[in-house]
Structure 1
Amino acid sequence: MSLGYADRLKEYPHKGVCGLPEKQDTERQLQLSLRTLVDLVSSAEHLVVLTGAGISTAAGIPDFRGPDGIWTTQNALERAAAGKPKAGAKRKRKPKAGAAAGSGAAEGGAAAPPAETRSGAIDFASASPTLTHHALAELARLGKLKYVVTQNVDALHQRSGLPRSKLAVLHGCIFEERCEACGALYLRETDVGTISFQPTGRYCTRVGEAAGSAACGGVLRDTLLDWEDPLPEAELTEAERHCERADLILALGTSLRIEPAGSLPCRHRRGGGYVIVNLQRTPKDSKAKLIVRAPVDRVMAALMREVMGLELERGAAGARWVATGTGGAATGGAMPEASSLTAGAGGAPASAPVAEG
């Protein structure tokens, strides 16, 4: 059960800044910010998005450092138990000095304690992509969005139909496992059950292109990072490459407190910049072109409507982007049903690799 993911993480004392207050722009402030954001996104030639916990909370997956986040709640319980008053080479994840220390998955908001302690929290396998996940997949399909970098481990980007080739999953995924021999990547319908690159008990079924080739048979290992595990170097390098080419980076629903992911927005090309959409302050606020304090889904709905001329329509057959008659796009593209989880883009069977090493 993915609800037990948080319990798999090692004990780690430095969970960093938790429970900062959330703030929302006034309606007037928000409308002004949205106008600016629409202009920035419309003119962007190489748009990159960095995502964190805040884009998955609308799917029922709690974050870690919000007012009701997992670490926030855990810290409060520990303080209460101790009788303390409430207090305001291979690269590894590390906290920014004086900021939060936490697992990338923790930043990515993809874990939850037992359901009985979290009203409304749901199992990862039951979660569906949010409007933001669907919007990013559609922007990528239309060529407007060049790359997505996520700190989340919940596979909601993959479920939305975003191609894995346009996605860097920096902190691993509870539904993915990789062959140690050939590098083939598999996306499963259920939590693979392990952490820190351990064998999952399954073997690679990838077959070579030559006629009569046998299955690889290599050991499959989880991709999920524990505290201080090294990041996947190839994915981090690709994320950095796209950020360095970006004239605009959107940081959506992330505290920007986990390194190296937290500094990626600052790697934009000369003359570019980044925008933060988050309800809490971040260490990167002072250099941002724009800060929007509003729910991410509301911001992305406005962007899709004003920039692409699309609105999300949900029905019994699933979700679909439809033209509104405004913005830049003439028609919307159909998406996979929100409830479906396949092995990858194109509906590959769960036993087939979604990417090859």
Structure 2
Amino acid sequence: MARTRICLARHGETNWNLERRVQGQLNIPLNVRGVAQAEALARELGSERFDRIYSSDLRRALQTVTPLARRLGLPVETRVALREKDDGAWQGMTFDDVDRAFPSEHALHRQRQAEFLIPGGETLAAFADRVGAELTAIAERHPGETVLVVAHAGVLDIGYRLATGLGLSEKRDPPVLHAAPNWFLYEDGRWTLERWAQESARETVVMPYDGRTLERRPAARLLPLDAEHRVLLFRYSTRLSPIFEAQGYAHFWGSIGGAVEPGETFDAAARRELAEETGLTGVDLGEIVFSREFPMQLGADWFQADERFYAIRVGEFTPDTRGFTEVERSDVLGWKWWSAAEIAATQELLFPEALDWLLEKLRG
């Protein structure tokens, strides 16, 4: 059989990568650096000759491969089998949270125990079988061709082990870089590693906030839920975030809420924002259901966002926006009640990430 050459690349960076949060098979989009990394990968590989392109069907992989596919003029064939390992009940948790909640189980996970199963997920052995079978099927389908595959760190890890003979439980030394090409050869049923991406040889993707200590911006965010478990989101102008406007987006959808004022608690800020943005008062906020931190552009500057989310059962209503400031009136374009299914299917910018997963988690 003629040799197949495969370029295997991981997706670009996400905010959940920054937070060290378990993504697994949740559909997390790229962050602003990840988008820039995808464009850099397209520039780097734009002059290469590829015969086919395959990708995981998860959004972060598809967003990474799209600029290059467009430049090459090739379609992208998606494969569910190229998804990241399913980490079940741990998905959405930070690694620190997992370590605190499941110390003995997390130890087994770190030891790469092949048959260890996270509830609702898949074992490392099953993941390796799935990925190995899919990569081999792709290679055998295209003898004599050069194929691009964009997927996830776990998929690249299995590819590395197929090509080097490294056992599943053994430590892999070279890191899996974001949006970097790693080259493999497949011939006569045998994988070999041609070249693994090294950080020292990579183009550095520089962001405006690199090297800065960003001012923290604590904010209370609210997720009003109706009887059908839909969530109310506002549509905001991307004038609030010019980097998205530069990518061609006129608006994005996001949870309501805003910055915590000096001396104010998150609870107090949530009540104030809810009253000002919807007219609702006297609502039971409950506990904080989700938190996240990430670099955020607001106007011309960047901040370290520290957002805490409250889910409140309110029934369907029409927001009373008479409490809006003039700036809010110019930047908020409307609202909509979203189901988890609509969120999962949309191609629009929508925050927070994985809100469909969070809604299903809140449903219990």
TM-score by length of 1: 0.29
TM-score by length of 2: 0.29
Point out the structure with max Rg over C-alpha. Answer: 2
Which structure: greater helix fraction? 2
